[in-house]
Amino acid sequence: MKISVIILFFLIIPFYNYSQISRDTIDIPEVKITAKRPIDETGIKITRIDTLILMKSINASLSDILSESTPVFVKTSGRGALATVSFRGTSPSHTDVLWNDISISSPMIGQVDFSLIPVYFIDDVSLLHGAGSIQNTSGALGGSISINNKPDWNNKFSGKFMQGFGSYRTYSDFLQINFGNKKFQTKTRAFYSFSKNNFKFKNKNIADIDSLTGQYIYPVQENMNAEYQQYGLLQEFYLRLKNNITASLKYWHQTSDRSLPRLNTYEGTDYSNISKQIDISNRLIGEISKSGESSKIGFTSGLILKDMTYSLENFISGYDYENAIYSESNSISSYNKLYYKYKLSENTHLNFNYSTNFHKVNTTDTISKTGYDTTRIEHLSFVSLNQKFGKRLACLVMIRKNFISSGSIPLIPYFGFDYLISDKHQFFIKGNIGNNYHFPSLNDLYWQPGGNPDILPENGISGDIGLSVSSKVNNILIENSITSFYSDINNWIIWIPTVKGYWTPKNISNVVSKGLEYNIKLNFSVGKYAVKANANYAYTSSLNYGDTEIWGEESYGKQLVYVPVHSGNVFLNISRNGYSVSYIHNSYSERFTTSTNNYSLRDWLYPYYMNNLFIGKNFEFKKFDLSIQFKIYNLFNEEYRSILFRPMPQRNYLILFGMRF
């Protein structure tokens, strides 16, 4: 009830006169906010991450940005370790990630490790919530995330260099060089990061008992076998030709070499259960397009190669280290998309596109002699109609039809609308409803042992309804949006243990996810101080109504594992004369690690509240700028866990030096 009152309060703030905020404020005539609505975003809930947030966290990964500035829940195994997301209470495989309109989700597991996407390589990030993801992709039952690179046609020669030093022997370097003219642009970016990651933590999963007091004595341990290093290169070329033809070519290479720490519950020797994972990816995208007065036609082609090696070894006395697992996985994916956009009039737009994708996966464990080798072909067609009715109402209809290998997926329809209630305050009501299908990943079908070739595609219907308001009075710009969502998904895929000792995927009959998302943005100045703030809150109920013969009656109607009911974050930046202070807060309510939602040390993760503080100064010279930024992570030294039995660091620091020319 309190949350609803707070949201209502913020939503109606713009309709009152802000002149009462301060009697010392100089009265300035009201400014009318007007913006041309992109017709292809009709009814779609879109979250765009502010470029200031990207700049302040340029040394971070996409997982950090999402947890700190969006309503998406990020589940991480630790610093530099695997990070996945839950978008509106769905599973990690229900969020698709597109790099310049090409999916980079793994065809093997159907998801992305967000810790392997550096902010260094990102110019723009946007999230399409729920059914709106149909515009970019299919199968993203929770939503989709787009990361993009863009040229600056006004650039002649520029660049920047950054270097960071932090706790736990953490080092990072980043270099970017840009040059070109009105017809040609190129960008070269490279980065390297390393961390010993050997922080100390109090292990509350292992304890001795004091013989006199009976109290538990928890050992302080070091995070062992946890170092990681990453390096990558992103090369971009952009070309403007005659007759409104543009072309681009982008290549992204990245290597990640990570040691994987043991669970907190491990009580063996330091010479056992030593795990390591190496990920190598090469991504290449080319695009050519031609624009006319009322149309645009283009072709995009991409090639992605991924290699992953995972090993687990133990020391054998009198011999040497011996592998218990040595798994190699390789995938090759090609993407080809032809699109056509036609503007019949200012009020009517048509879009068509057709894609054909090919995936080949080979995986093998040289120790157990298991694995699989298979291919998948996808044919994806899409059509949309955008129609405006006068100045207030706009509607969008989208339809997808997919063929995957030898199977056909039913039509995927979408309908969305925007209605302008008040032009003065840009007060909108928008909504959508759509169907979606998520085809099983190749691991779901063929993994050995445990793959289930009879697993069914997931399908569901989802919808949004929301309000948004933008207003400016005096020097205060405030934007509010509140969205209610509902999703009903059938044949939800989940991996469960078998009596034979391995896991296998099963379809559970039904999962219902519903909730509320609220966002507020403030931008104003106080004297010579510029203030920018952004806050998100999400209420997410994601309940399991699966077959009780699989789950048992105790799991029926319970919250899905690792999905917090409440989550929120705040970003606040204050700047003046080159000085800046940024405060970042994010928090999650309790999360359960078992489907029965038991309250125990092994089945329950207590709520945590994370706070970071960044302090920076920029020095401007005639031909270049210098900057220094001091970052404090986990400001209040919280003890917290994101995943059961995985340690997380307490307060730690990083100093970042930069030069821009």
Tens digits of residue pLDDT in 108-138: 999 999 999 999 999 999 999 999 999 999 9
For position 36, what pLDDT does the model report?
57
DSSP 360: E
Q: How far apart are CA 591 and CA 423, in angstroms?
A: 42
Mean pLDDT of the 35-61 span: 87
pLDDT at residue 635 tops 50: yes
pLDDT at residue 367 tops 80: yes
Type and span of the H or E element at 437: strand 427-438
Is the pLDDT higher at 80 or at 189? 189
For position 539, what pLDDT does the model report?
97
Buried b (16+ CB within 10 A) or exposed e, 105-137: bbbbbbbbbbbbbbbbbbeebbbbbbbbbbbbb
pLDDT per residue as tens digits for the range 257-310 = 999 998 888 877 788 889 999 999 999 999 999 999 999 999 999 999 999 999
Q: Which residues contact 425 (CB under 8 A, 6 or more apart)?
A: 14, 15, 33, 469, 470, 471
pLDDT bucket at 8, cuts 50 / 70 / 90:
very low
Q: Which residue, among 50, 129, 92, 85, has the nearest Cα to 516 in the 3D structure?
A: 129
pLDDT per residue as tens digits for the range 486-539 = 999 999 999 988 888 889 999 988 999 999 999 999 999 999 999 999 999 999
153-162, 379-388, 529-538, 644-653: least confidently modelled range = 644-653
Terminal Cα distance for the chain, rounded: 52
DSSP 262: P
Mean pLDDT of the 549-578 span: 91
Q: How far apart are CA 519 and CA 537, in angstroms?
A: 7
pLDDT at residue 17 tops 70: no
Neighbouring C-beta atoms of residue 258, cutoff 10 Å: 23
Type and span of the H or E element at 600: none
CA 70, distance to chain mean position in Å, is 9
Rg (CA), the chain: 26
Q: How far apart are CA 447 and CA 441, in angstroms?
A: 10
**pLDDT > 70 fraction of the chain, expressed in percent and rounded:** 94
Between the alpha carbon of residue 114 and those of residues 74, 123, 183, 383, 458, the distances in Å are 9, 16, 34, 30, 23
**Residue 192 CB-half CA count within 13 A:** 3
Domains of the chain: 2-660 (2.40.170.20)
For position 37, what pLDDT does the model report?
63
For position 517, what pLDDT does the model report?
97
On whether the CB atoms of residues 632 and 648 are closer than 8 A, the answer is: no
Neighbouring C-beta atoms of residue 317, cutoff 10 Å: 6
For position 252, what pLDDT does the model report?
98
Between the alpha carbon of residue 94 and those of residues 91, 407, 445, 491, 570, the distances in Å are 5, 20, 17, 13, 26
pLDDT at residue 162 tops 90: yes
Q: Which two tokens stand for residue 481?
A: 């949006």
For position 646, what pLDDT does the model report?
87
465 phi and psi angles, rounded to 5 deg? -145, 130
Q: Which two tokens stand for residue 474?
A: 């005096």
